[in-house]
Amino acid sequence: MTLPPLPVIRLKPKANARAIRHGAPWVYDNEIVTDRRTKALEPGTIALLEDADRNTLAKVAVNPNSRIFARVLERDLNLPVDQSWLVSKLSYALAMRETLYDAPYYRLVHAEADGLPGVIIDRFGDVAVIQPNAAWAERLVSELCVALQQVTGVAHVLKNASGRARGLEGLDDASAVLAGTAPDGPVPVPMNGAIYMADLTGGQKTGLFFDQRPNHAFAARLARGGRMLDVFSHVGGFSLAALAGGASRALAVDGSGPALTLAREGAAQMGQTDAFETRQGDAFEVMTALLEEAEQFDLVVCDPPAFAPSKKALDAGLRAYERVARLAAPLVKPGGYLGLCSCSHAADLAKFRTASVRGIGRAGRAAQLIHTGFAGPDHPLHPNLAESGYLKSLFFRL
């Protein structure tokens, strides 16, 4: 059976075709010749991308409803984007994770950096959670599920449709069970000696953040034998790792009651109930209250949500990061440690560091920057896509 030819989209003469040839994964809507035929393409259509001289550059996934008009899928024009192609991509991604980790708890696919643009897959033992955040992946989600089970052997596959990225693609927010069944409760996840309880159906994102794994481990060393404060803790990311690493006590602060309930369940699973406390409330208000209570800790870590998710939000986001540092620094004992994190891709490392240092200075504290951390290797960085290197963690001795 001969397949119909793929539709063709073309770059404008002034578009940077060289960037695509050198690995850039995205083509924006203002770089494409958008005639009536091109605009009529169904979101998720696989097409051929040509430069202005009609030289074919790659196979791409098209979405006329998105600012990212085309995402590069395959540069080998002889390879069809089909079930075998998905199996090949997933197998390549799995091989690295199995080299890195002894247990099947990790990010299996990190979108463009793993050759599956817009696709996030997190693995929790026998359960995998897919976020198809691009139209092409939404169209092929059934095939992706089959390939995922074939490659990994997981019995249960969930689709998570939450998040800002799907809205930008014009996709719905309807989550689903793609294979097997959904867990009937939180799933225990071992990491860095701690046990985290992940809500795979009602929690944030896919249920747990694997990206901070190496930073949790570094912070745990700093907390040994001491008392630590984990602000914006979610399910106890830094605090449970600190207890596993030998901290004497830990206090987790978050605005979400359900997240703190999961954190307490994790501490119980670890046998650390007596050493673990939680406080629910606005992080800025809780830090202010702790200052008024003259509390100080051997280690304070602040891991807030993305204060600068876009360039428009950058200035306000940097002010928020500065405020976090200003409130957190006085809570650190002299000679203690402060960890500050940002998951805002719009705030690069230099800007985030400047805001953090300014906040520490405004708090009247002197600091040594002792470590800069990033996401773990299961969240690889696409060399031509700064957005894939979103996570930064700065550790200071005050």
Residue from 99, 157, 162 nearest 123 by CA? 157
- Distance in angstroms (rounded) separating the CA atoms of residues 251 and 272: 12
- In the numeric block, which tokens belong to residue 361? 């200075």
Residue from 342, 337, 322 nearest 369 by CA? 337
Radius of gyration in angstroms for the set of CA atoms belonging to the chain, rounded to a whole number: 23
Residue from 197, 188, 191 nearest 220 by CA? 191
Query: Is 343 among the residues known to form the active site?
Result: yes
- Distance in angstroms (rounded) separating the CA atoms of residues 335 and 85: 53
Q: How far is CA 5 from CA 45, 46, 93, 197, 229, in A?
A: 12, 10, 29, 48, 59
Which is catalytic among the residues 145, 302, 341, 343?
Answer: 343
Using left for φ > 0, alpha for ψ between -120 and 50, and beta otherwise, residue 100 falls in alpha
Residue from 115, 118, 108 nearest 44 by CA? 118
In a 13 Å sphere around the CA of 109, the CA atoms on its Cβ side amount to 29
Active-site residue numbers?
A: 343
